Amino acid sequence: MRAHSQIMWVERYFHSHLIWVCRCADCGFMCFRLRVVTNIHSKLHCENILSRIHKSLAQPYSINSEQAIIAASSGITIYPVDSADNETLLRHADHAMYQAKQSGRNRYLFFDTDQDQQLQSRRELLDSIEDAVTRHELRLYYQPQVNINTGAIVGMEALIRWQHPERGLLQPMEFLPLLEGSEQEYIVGSWVIEEALQQLHQWRNEGLDINMGVNISPRLLHRNTFINQLGQTLAKFPDIQSRWLELEILESSAMDNLQAAKNIVWLCSNALGVQFALDDFGTGYSSLSHLRHLPVSSIKIDQSFVRDMLEDPHDFSIVEGVIGISKAFGHRVVAEGLETEAHGLAFLAMGGTYAQGYCIARPMPADEVPPWCKTWQPFDSWKKFDIKNS
């Protein structure tokens, strides 16, 4: 009865401003839609009105000799900033109101048209990306990893692209971040692994003695079914030795839950024989602990350090230090983002040998890899560098 009395009181309080009222007396919640107001001069003007309403409602009231405290949550949208039709405008205001409730109640929020457009774009992309898998619009490009002293090609890193029917070839950063936390993230991640293994199978049959590197997201790595699914995927390619597959995990993702990452990497390595690389190394807060605890075979130095090491002495020292520490732990070191001959010489002088980057090769479609492998040669200065006496 008390909740019903409060609702009736507030309804009378707002009666001159209302065109619609929904009452839910059993749960003590009520929703009012106010009349459309046409004499609002600005968003600030609207905020002032709402502040007065909320302040007025927040005062203790005596209803049927009982004191009542009323908390209000309001959602607002403004036309023509929000240029939708009448029914959509009401839904947008409702959406903002529920967001206000979820944010802690007793507040108001404006409908964010830009955010709504981003959410709508994300929904559309999530729908289309799943179709892109079945329509064979996703592509893998491959960037070589080489020994820059001997010229030996040791592997290819698989990098996803989307051949969008309207927007052309999309780079990973144009669509992967929008997949984070969705089921499509797992679908795409699983597709990449299987597609990369299929390509490795083909190249191995053609006589290319190389390994395959695949980036995996932290959510895919920590998914309960990941190890079983990976095992099932490897079983589809019985002539592929699992050690030829190297899964690359971001150092930052390992840092989020080091113990869980350690367990998964250990199980995949020991039960399946898969190799792991720690990607973008040096960007985390506890890099040394990762080297101690994660059973990885390779360390990939983040390209930001490699790119600037000739100009920035601090980056130079970081690259040199990572090479020394990684060797002490028995890990292979790969420099990412090697862009010039001079960068390669400096890397060799520090004791590094494995690298990938634009001065070696840009990512390429699968059919361009075999011809590239036949013609690739390191710079003469790299070949002539005497590592033993450096």
**Which of the residue ranges 20-24, 277-281, 285-289 has the most confident prediction, judged by mean pLDDT?**
277-281
pTM (two decimals): 0.73
DSSP track, 301-365: E-HHHHHHTTT-HHHHHHHHHHHHHHHHTT-EEEES---SHHHHHHHHHHT--EE-STTT---EE
Q: Flag whether pLDDT at 311 surpasses 90.
A: yes
pLDDT (0 to 100) of residue 64 = 67
pLDDT (0 to 100) of residue 41 = 61
pLDDT (0 to 100) of residue 177 = 85
Q: Specify if 76 maps to a domain.
A: yes
Same domain, 72 and 125: no
Q: Flag whether pLDDT at 235 surpasses 70.
A: yes
d(CA 252, CA 233): 26
Same domain, 76 and 141: no
Total domains in the fold of the chain = 2
Helices (H), 103-242: 113-134, 176-179, 183-205, 218-221, 226-235
User: Of 62, 85, 111, which residue sits at a domain end?
Assistant: 111
d(CA 356, CA 156): 9
Same domain, 320 and 237: yes
Same domain, 180 and 203: yes
Tokens of 74: 């309001």
pLDDT (0 to 100) of residue 124 = 73
User: Of 57, 81, 111, which residue sits at a domain end?
Assistant: 111
pLDDT (0 to 100) of residue 43 = 73
Same domain, 181 and 102: no
Q: Specify if 389 maps to a domain.
A: no
Q: Flag whether pLDDT at 18 surpasses 60.
A: no
Same domain, 216 and 93: no
Q: Percent of the chain beyond pLDDT 70?
A: 78
pLDDT (0 to 100) of residue 28 = 43
**Which of the residue ranges 105-114, 159-168, 286-295 has the most confident prediction, judged by mean pLDDT?**
159-168
pLDDT (0 to 100) of residue 130 = 80
d(CA 15, CA 22): 13
Q: Percent of the chain beyond pLDDT 90?
A: 50
Same domain, 273 and 296: yes
Q: What number is the average pLDDT over the span 17-32?
A: 44
Span of 5-14, 127-136, 167-176, 230-239 with lowest mean pLDDT = 5-14
Q: Specify if 315 maps to a domain.
A: yes
Same domain, 233 and 364: yes
What is the per-residue pLDDT across 348-358, written as a single tens digit (0 to 9) for each?
Answer: 999 999 999 99
What is the per-residue pLDDT across 93-141, written as a single tens digit (0 to 9) for each?
Answer: 777 787 777 777 677 777 776 766 666 766 777 778 888 988 999 999 9
- Going by C-alpha positions, the residue among 330, 230, 231, 310 that lies closest to residue 320 is 310
pLDDT (0 to 100) of residue 26 = 38
Tokens of 6: 């409060």
Same domain, 93 and 202: no
pLDDT (0 to 100) of residue 62 = 67
Amino acid at 141: Y
Average pLDDT value for the chain = 83
Query: Sorting pLDDT into bands at 50, 70 and 90, what band is 25?
Result: very low
d(CA 253, CA 279): 10
pLDDT (0 to 100) of residue 23 = 38
Residue span of the structural domain in which 82 resides: 2-111
pLDDT (0 to 100) of residue 256 = 66
d(CA 302, CA 310): 15
